[in-house]
Amino acid sequence: MNEAPPWGDAPGGADKSRSPRRRLTATSATSIELTKHSRYILKGWFNQQDFVLIFGPAGCGKSLLAADLAFRLAQRCETIHGKRAKGGPVLYVCLEGQGGFRTRLAALAEHYGPAPDFYLCDGPLDLQNPADVGDLVSLVSELKAIAVVIDTWAQACPGAEESGSADNGRALSGINRVRRETGAAVLVVDHTGWGEGDAQKRPRGWSGKWAAADAGLHVDGDIKEGDVQVVPRRLKDGSGFDPIAFGSERIELGEDDDGDPIVSFVAVERDRAYTQTTPGGAQSARTTKAGRTFNDAFHDAITDNGVDHNVLGDRTSVKAVNVRYVREEFLRRYPAERESGDRAFRRYLSNLPADYGSENVNDEVFVWRVRP
C-alpha cells in the first residue's frame, strides 16, 4: 500500500490539507526587491539583528568599550567613533564585576550626562537554558531595546566545555532566538584564545560562534599602558573601517566613607592625529575628547578675543585669551548636556597639558599656547 510522504501529497492526489506544516519557505529571486532602508545601528560596524563579538585579552578595555558604545547608543548620539549611529534603548547584561560596573555607570553619566534608556541587568543568565533565554526575549521586547550586550560569553555559558559544540551550540541558538524574536542586535564580550599568533586574533574556544558572528571587533593592547586599537576582524555586512583608537579617562566621583576618592574610568575616543606618546609612554591629555574639544575651542576663542598678555614675573608678552571665551566655545562643541560639558571643561582646565600656559590675574584666568 502506498502511503503519503510526510512533505506532500499522497499518490493519487490526496487532500493537501492533511500535509504537515513546513518550517521552511522559499521566495523567488524575481520577487526580492533591493531595500534602501538603512538597517545600521552603528554604520559600517553592525546592524539590527546582528551578532557581534567584542573580544580581546584580559585588561585590553573590551568591557570599557562595550559599556561606552551601549551608553552612547542609549543617549541616541548621532555619531560614535566618527560613525553615524541610530540609537535607542539598550540592555546591558553584566555577569561579572557587577559592583564595579555600577561605579563605571556613574562615571559615564558624569562624563556624558544621563542615559535613561540604558538598562542594566545583573543576571543570572544561562544562554544554554531555554527558560533563561525566554526571560531575556521578554525583557528585551518589553524595553523595546535595539541592542543587548552580554558581558561575557564565558559567564553566560556556565559549565560549558570551552571548545565543545554541544553546549556552545545551544548558547548560540539562544542568541539567535533573541535576535529573531526581538530584532535587537546582540553584542557579546569575549576573550581571545590561549595561544600566541592567530589565536590572539579570534575569540577563545568553539569556532562555531566565530563563524556565526556578523561582526568581530578585536580590542588590541593594554588599556593601563595607554591607547588601544579596535581592529575589525570580521564584518559580514559592513562597509569596513580602518582600526580606530581609544583610551581611558579617570573620573572622580566624590569620596567614600573613609574620605578616599571614588574613581572609575571611561573610554574616550582618540583622533589618530593626536595619538603621539610622550617619552615615558603616557598619552598626552589632549588626546581625549575633552582635549580635542578644548584645542578647537581655544583656537576660535583666541582668534576672536585674543589679547596681548604680559606674563607675571617673566616680562614676556604672549597672545592669550580669557578662559570664559574658551569655555563658551567648549560648551558649544561638547556632545553632552551643558552641565556635563561644564564638568569636563573644569576637569581639563585644572590639568592642562604642558603646551598650555595659564595665569590668574585679578580673578580672571588667561590661557595661551606655549611655544616649543
Mean pLDDT to the nearest integer, 3-18? 50
168-177 pLDDT per residue, tens: 999 999 999 9
**Most confident stretch, 5-14, 163-172, 219-228, 279-288:** 163-172
Which residues are within 8 A (CB) of 88 and not within 5 positions of it... i.e. 6 or more apart? Answer: 73, 74, 76, 117, 144, 145, 146, 147
The pLDDT mean for the chain works out to: 84
pLDDT score for 359: 86
What's the rounded Cα separation, in Å, for the pair 217 and 17? 49
Cell triple for residue 75? 543617549
For residue 57, say if its preceding peptide bond is cis, omega within 30 degrees of 0. Answer: no
Q: Are strands 316-322 and 307-311 parallel, antiparallel or unpaired?
A: antiparallel
Domains and CATH numbers, the chain: 40-274 (3.40.50.300), 285-369 (1.10.10)
Q: Are strands 90-94 and 147-151 parallel, antiparallel or unpaired?
A: parallel
Which residues are within 8 A (CB) of 295 and not within 5 positions of it... i.e. 6 or more apart? Answer: 286
pLDDT score for 118: 98
DSSP string computed for 130-156:
HHHHHHHHHHHHHHT-SEEEEE-HHHH
Residue 121 has pLDDT above 90, yes or no: yes
Best CA proximity match to 223, nearest among 62, 64, 63, 61: 61
Angle at CA of residue 305, ends 301 and 311, nearest 5°: 95
Which residues are within 8 A (CB) of 30 and not within 5 positions of it... i.e. 6 or more apart? Answer: none
pTM of the model: 0.68
